Amino acid sequence: MPLKPIDLTQSVYTLCTQYPDLIPVMEELGFSDITKPGMLATAGRWMTIPKGAALKKLELDTIKQMLAERGFTIKE
């Protein structure tokens, strides 16, 4: 499986547009709002994964690990 690079400085909207298969992974990680109609197109445009992790009080390392397990690679 080819690795899909994720740049953590990009918005969640940009990343999910580039990789639609990221949406269910984000939901599984605790970002359930991403599946609500309009949320990705509004808040997702300025929200990054690190900002969302801080807001939801989630460990960024845990998120990175799960993304890696799902075939994504983190660009820092």
Q: What is the 3-state secondary structure (H, E, C) of 52-69?
A: HHHHHCCCHHHHHHHHHH
Which token pair is 35? 């599946």
**33, 72 contact by CB (below 8 A):** no
Give pLDDT tens digits for 6-39.
999 999 999 999 999 999 999 999 999 998 889 9
**Which pTM was predicted?**
0.90
- Kindly report the CATH number that applies to the domain delimited by 4-75: 1.10.3910.10
**9, 75 contact by CB (below 8 A):** no
Domain boundaries, the chain: 4-75
CA distances from 55 to 5, 18, 30, 59 (A): 23, 23, 11, 11
Give pLDDT tens digits for 34-75.
988 899 999 999 999 999 999 999 999 999 999 999 999 998
